[in-house]
Amino acid sequence: MINVKDLKFSYRHDGTYQVDGISFEVKEGETLGFLGPNGAGKSTVQKILIGLLPMQEGEAIVDGVAVKDYNSKFFNKIGVSFEFPNAYKKLSALENMEYYASLFDVPTQDPRMLLKLVGLEDAVDKKVGDFSKGMLQRFVMARSMLNKPEVWFLDEPLSGLDPQTSQNIKNVIKQEKETGTTIFLTTHDMHVAEELCDRVAFIESGKIIVIDSPRNLKLKYGEKVVNIEYKESGKTKTEKLALGNEKDADRVSEILKTKEVETVHSGEATLEDIFIELTGRGLK
Amino acid sequence: MFKRLINNFKKDWLRGYRHFYLLITIATALLFSAFLLFVLPDDYSSPGLYQYVAPEIGESMFEGEEGITFVDSKDEIKEMMKDDANSYGVAIELIDNAPVVTIYTQSNAEGEFGQTIKMMLSRALSSGEEIDYTERYESVVLHEEFKDVKYKETFLPVLIVMDSAMIGMFLLSVMLFTEKDHKMHTAYMVSPGGLTEHLLSKSMVMLVLSLISGTIMTLIIRGFDANFLYLYIILIPSAFFGGGLGLFLGSIFKNVQKSMLGLIFLMIGLMLPTVSYMFPSFSPMWIKFIPTYQMIYGVRAAVIPLYGFDDVWRNAVIVLAEGIVLFGISRFLYQRALYKNS
Ligand SMILES: Nc1ncnc2c1ncn2[C@@H]1O[C@H](COP(=O)(O)OP(=O)(O)O)[C@@H](O)[C@H]1O
Ligand SMILES: [Mg+2]
């Protein structure tokens, strides 16, 4: 459904690449997540794929159409939920939805039903300008579903939502997934990646470090993590160390030898642990 | 395409309405009308005077007086007076070796001025031999239609054009800027909607507003003496052009603040033909290339019936052509700017 090869992009055309030779594939009905810290290049990749940024180097095909060849009809099959919500502030949620629906050449879903789906049933007639950030976030998601997209792009769909709402929206995404929609999402939240994605790509400095299913990633990189609690000058300290990593392994034996160890837990590594292990930096 | 254009229009109209565009338009129209009605005087203190003296006669009796424009033929007097509602003309010719005087007035009311001229003439002409000057005196009413046109009403076309071209330009650029501000254009770009509908619908909003304001002002000032069909024929392309300028500003600048200088420069440029319109002796060739020139003369022909349909449609066609070119350029610039802002 999505096929990307050696994609490169530079905002400033100064020889630095914010997307630096990325290749990946998303199969029909699959959900692929881009997991990486702020500034990694996730949104940039997505903007290129939806035609908001020009194609500079490499190739990308979405639903059989090369990105360079997009015409307006193509967008009948695409849905995009933006990282920075956008809407006409002077129009109500419903007016915004009805207007956007009217742009499509294909049958669209009932705006009220979609607003209800994302929990905005009480704000249907409220001006979008009066929405909170979380409401806006949900609004643009509902809007992106109007045309029942075959390929659904979600940029940080859950950032800024409280846990309860976040769970509801995750369920909405899961439902969509059930119906066979191909989903490309970006996130800096490992839980989102783990819960929603069939496969996850770790992205850092415009490069994909690794791409696999959450389960495989854990099997491959995340078996041997230990949490060590020890006392040092009267305080309890915790360190999380990966045994697969030579430096960490040395540190474990150093602690065991030199410190007053209180507890040792071996546990399953989280995706973030693995991300740190592979890239040397966290997701924040 | 058509369906989307209409839907875009409905949306943009609603947005404009909620930003009080309709209110602003009506208030401006009323303000301009009040300015004409209550601020400008009915009559200009010194009317224009055009004089033709046949070469055989030689010098003119008004030689040296200020405010007189000397012309080379009787036809030229008529030509000049057509553009100058508050004016008189005097022609002195030599026929059968005797001077013949023709006085041109705009309406049959000669008024004080006509009397003064007659007195001066009778003195001047009877100074030498005995001549029955009354036989040699002719009074021609040039433009009966001007009878009901007060001098200040000739300002109406200027105000209508300022309103439709300039307010349109300003409001439309603001519309694009708020859209950019809300990043709404990015959502539009990933929809099947085309750029032409997106921009054209905004021009249509300005067009409706401009028709409303033009109608209000014309009704108040001229009542049903104006030809409203003519008015709309010239106002539609004028508003379209004004909208095109708004698109232009909205495309090359990032926000309202940054566009201000450009807006002011454009306004000054657009005002220049007004000067030429009010002082017909200032009319360099290049001024005719500023579209407001055609707009003003087109609107004048609609609100003052003297000038006829030719003046309306000729000017309308020119402005329409200019508007289409401007729209094309603005659309191109807007498209280029989109990539930079997404
Ligand atoms: N419009 C822009 N102009 C210049 N640099 C940009 C622009 N947008 C993003 N960048 C830079 O590109 C990099 C990738 O950004 P982005 O794709 O937004 O990251 P992410 O979505 O992963 O947080 C960052 O270093 C960011 O500063
Ligand atoms: Mg991002």
Q: Which tens digit of pLDDT belongs to each residue from A225-262?
A: 788 888 888 888 888 777 777 788 888 888 888 888 88
Residues of chain A by 3-state class (helix, strand, coil), percent to 5: 35, 30, 35
B208 compared with B97, residue with greater pLDDT: B208
Q: CB-CB: which of A52, A89, A91 is closest to B189?
A: A52
- Which protein residue has the closest C-alpha to ligand 1 atom 1? A11
B250 compared with B111, residue with greater pLDDT: B250
Q: Which tens digit of pLDDT belongs to each residue from B264-305?
A: 999 999 999 998 888 877 888 899 899 999 999 999 989 887
Count of structural domains within chain B: 2
- Subunit contact A104:B191, Cβ cutoff 8 A: yes
Q: Is the confidence at residue B147, as pLDDT, over 80?
A: no
In a domain, B182, yes or no: yes
**Ligand 2 centroid – CA A36 distance (Å):** 9
CATH topology of domain A2-214: Rossmann fold (3.40.50)
In a domain, B202, yes or no: yes
In a domain, B135, yes or no: no
**What are the domain boundaries of chain A?**
2-214, 223-268
Residues of B in contact with A143 (CB under 8 A): 187
Give the three-class secondary structure for A21. strand
| Candidate of A11, A12, A42, A283 to mutate for ligand 1, largest count of ligand atoms within 8 Å of Cβ | A11
Does the Cβ of A38 fall within 6 Å of ligand 1? Answer: yes
- The verdict on B23 and B90 lying in the same domain is no
**In a mutagenesis test of the A interface, which of B10, B175, B190, B197 is the best target, namely the one with the most A β-carbons within 10 Å?**
B190
Residue B61 pLDDT class (50, 70, 90 cuts): low
CA distance B269 to B330: 18
Does the Cβ of A51 fall within 6 Å of ligand 1? Answer: no
Q: Please name the residue of chain A whose CA is at the shortest distance from the CA of residue B20.
A: A90
DSSP notation for A229-280: EEEETTEEEEEEEETTSHHHHHHHHHHHHHSEEEEEEEEPPPHHHHHHHHHS
**Ligand 1 centroid – CA A142 distance (Å):** 25
Which of A163-177, B116-130, B321-335 comes out lowest in average pLDDT? B116-130
- The verdict on B80 and B227 lying in the same domain is no
Q: Please give the model's pTM, rounded to 2 decimal places.
A: 0.80
- The verdict on B189 and B82 lying in the same domain is no
- Subunit contact A53:B191, Cβ cutoff 8 A: no
In a domain, B142, yes or no: no
pLDDT of residue A235: 85
In a domain, B141, yes or no: no
Residue A220 pLDDT class (50, 70, 90 cuts): confident
Residue A199 pLDDT class (50, 70, 90 cuts): very high
Residues of A in contact with B15 (CB under 8 A): 88, 90-91
Domain range holding B196? 2-40+150-341
Around ion ligand 2, which residues have CB less than 5 A away?
A 43, 83
Q: CB-CB: which of B4, B183, B189 is closest to A51?
A: B189
Is this complex's ipTM strictly greater than 0.95?
Answer: no
In a domain, B180, yes or no: yes
- Boundary residue ending a domain (B64, B92, B127): B127
**E strand or H helix that includes residue A114:** helix A111-117
Q: Which atom of ligand 1 is found nearest the CA of A83?
A: 21
User: What b/e sequence results for A46-64 when a residue is b if at least 16 CB atoms lie within 10 Å of its CB, and e otherwise?
Assistant: bbbbbbbbebeebebbbee
Alpha helices (runs of H) in B53-167, residue ranges in sequence order: 74-82, 111-125, 156-161
Residue A216 pLDDT class (50, 70, 90 cuts): confident
